[in-house]
Amino acid sequence: MSQIRILDESTISKIAAGEVIERPSSVVKELVENSIDANATEIRIRIQDAGKSLIEIVDNGHGMNPDNLKIAFIQHSTSKIIDIDDLEKISTMGFRGEALSSIASVADIEVSTKEKGASTAQFVSLKKGKMSALKQIGRDTGTTISVMKLFSGHPARLKYLKSDRVEMGHIIQIVTERALANPDIAFKLLNDGVEVINVPRAKNMPDRINDIMGRRVAKQIVSFMETEEGITVIGHLAKPTITKATKNDLFIFVNNRPVASPKISEAIERGYAGMLMRNRHPVGVLMLDIDPKVLDVNVHPTKRKVRFADEGRVARFITKAVAGAMGNTEIIPDVEPRQKDIIHRSVIEGKKKRASRVPQTQTQIMDDIETEAIPEGESIPKMKVMGQILNTYILAQSGSDLLIIDQHAAHERINLDRLKDSKKAKKAQQKLITPIPLNLGKKESQLVEHYRPIIEEFGFKIEPFGKDTYLVRAVPSIAGHLESESGLRDLIEELAELGKARDIEERWDEIRHLIACHSSIRAGEKLSQQRMAKLVEELHEIDNPFHCAHGRPTIIRITQKELEKLFKRVV
């Protein structure tokens, strides 16, 4: 039997540090939040080597006196709570007293700080967790913390970090969230000397949204506030004319703390009450102010997860607040028809008409009509194109059968087949006669600039064109259907998200699916007879024409027998 033993203090501290300091962005998060707690109005972040060589945070907060500085890096030392009862009234970003000690256990640190009203400042350094003697220096009120050689003594931790581009993406996300949550603070982020974020102090949240997300989003923002016992919701959400393909531009804050909460996200989307297109998500900021006594922020060291005493009540209140705001807003959407809505509406209208004209028995027969997808392994039949219905489905005849083709699903499968050979696909590029301008917000332009090398690997050519504007000069050769700014914006955003998650080469299958989907004919798009015939011809040329990239059938068949049932020719 293995012997049970007590771990030494060094090992314990390093294990604990792993929960708090997972990557360079964890250091940025903890130090920036300390600056916010110190009532700073200006915070500057300087990064080198994606944070592995240097993370420097400079603020003009209230600083530390010598006594506080001496114990600041001891585990569980904190100025923010005194005992367990204080957990019920937390108003600061940090409170565990773990961050500084955890950082000191995995990096070298230098600190200079001057308390407001003090005559001199203090300087101290820490190497391998050991603190030097304090030195008096000159500086303005505030604190500068430099974290160097992160994880240099922990090669296993360095091994599991992603590429510099990915790690920097996480840092940008951390700073963006804190900048949105604190519009009264100026933020500047420098990466290897290049300015990435620079937002001045803002008068209000809409101004900060304009700085971060851009004028296009800010012009469509609906601001509202609702209060009931113990809960206040302050929302700055875009009208449903501005949506995104991902949820990354919906920022949720609970007591000014950025959180990830699927329940709150779902509650917000329900508040839009059917105004969102399928697979589209809201954009903006929602601030939830709630009594700390009914909230647990002590779920995880990162404090990104929270637990509500009555989650259902909170969700219902948010949905009601969002619905009220959007219901009182004039909205003229610029949207494409949704296949689901088209089908649903046509079925309902069709049933109403049938109910007034035909006996119930025939209505029942029509409701019970059976269709079938053409099974795998069967050859795609020869067919004659007859026309298009709902600008979404192609009608064709094959022998005595009626075939209905989903034009988007079919074209998506064709495009996916063309992208099978990744090397050829990535080299195939189509130059645009007229470049497409992308007018982006600050956050979007950061995303595009940061991941532009990745995006361009897959056939795009994008170049800067003035402040927060880019020109798309070329697209992948199959992407001839990507003609709109919104379509390109969605695809580039999703490609960037894939790149942020892990090495892009590992995700080629997902990228193929994204490009194929966004490059395809849309539901609701009117096609000429020639284009429909061409689509059917292309289906005959691919290996698997029967299902789209998402597994939905591209073709369904209604046999002669099923048609005859409708007209009561057979029983």
Cα 168 from chain centroid? 16
What fold does the segment set 9-199 form as a domain?
Answer: Heat Shock Protein 90 (3.30.565)
Supply 128's token pair: 């391998």
Q: 110-147, pLDDT tens digit by residue?
A: 999 999 889 999 999 998 778 888 999 989 999 999 99
Choose the most confident range, by mean pLDDT, from 177-181, 238-242, 429-433, 515-519.
177-181
Better-predicted residue by pLDDT, 165 or 369: 165
Helix axes 311-327, 262-271, angle to 10 degrees: 30
B/e letters for 109-139, b = 16+ CB within 10 Å, e = fewer, are bbbbbbbeeeeebbbbbbeebebeeeeeeee
d(CA 294, CA 308): 6
Q: 251 pLDDT exceeds 90?
A: yes
CATH 3.30.1600.10 is the classification of domain 429-476+482-518: no
Write down the domain spans for the chain. Answer: 9-199, 205-327, 340-414+525-566, 429-476+482-518
pLDDT at 464: 84
Cα 351 from chain centroid? 40
Better-predicted residue by pLDDT, 284 or 164: 284
DSSP state string for 481-535: T--SHHHHHHHHHHHHHHHHHS-GGGGHHHHHHHHHHHTSPPTT----HHHHHHH
pLDDT at 485: 66
Q: 93 pLDDT exceeds 60?
A: no
Q: 468-504, pLDDT tens digit by residue?
A: 788 888 877 665 555 566 667 777 666 666 655 555 5
Q: Tell me the pLDDT of the chain averaged across its residues.
A: 77
Instruction: Return the HEC string of 132-165.
Output: CCCEEECCCCEEEEEEECCCCCCHHHHHCCCCHH
d(CA 97, CA 436): 51
CATH number corresponding to 205-327: 3.30.230.10
Q: What residue has token string 């009601």? A: 320
d(CA 248, CA 445): 14
Q: What percent of the chain has pLDDT over 70?
A: 71
DSSP state string for 76-101: T--SS-SSGGGGGG--SS--SS-HHH
User: What's the Cα-to-Cα distance from 156 to each of 160, 196, 275, 455, rounded to whole Å?
Assistant: 7, 29, 48, 30
Better-predicted residue by pLDDT, 388 or 58: 58
Q: Where does the pLDDT of residue 352 fall: very low under 50, low under 70, confident under 90, or very high at 90 and above?
A: very low
Better-predicted residue by pLDDT, 59 or 133: 59
Q: 67-81, pLDDT tens digit by residue?
A: 888 888 886 555 543
pLDDT at 141: 95
Q: Where does the pLDDT of residue 261 fall: very low under 50, low under 70, confident under 90, or very high at 90 and above?
A: confident
Cα 162 from chain centroid? 18
Q: What is the number of other CB atoms lying within 10 angstroms of the CB of residue 571?
A: 6
Residue 275 three-state SS: coil
Q: Are 477 and 430 in contact (CB under 8 A)?
A: yes
- Report which of 559, 249, 242 is spatially closest to residue 399, judged by C-alpha positions: 559
Supply 534's token pair: 């061409």
Q: Where does the pLDDT of residue 467 fall: very low under 50, low under 70, confident under 90, or very high at 90 and above?
A: confident
Q: 518 pLDDT exceeds 90?
A: no
What fold does the segment set 340-414+525-566 form as a domain?
Answer: formyl-coa transferase, domain 3 (3.30.1540)
Q: 287-312, pLDDT tens digit by residue?
A: 999 887 777 655 555 556 777 778 88
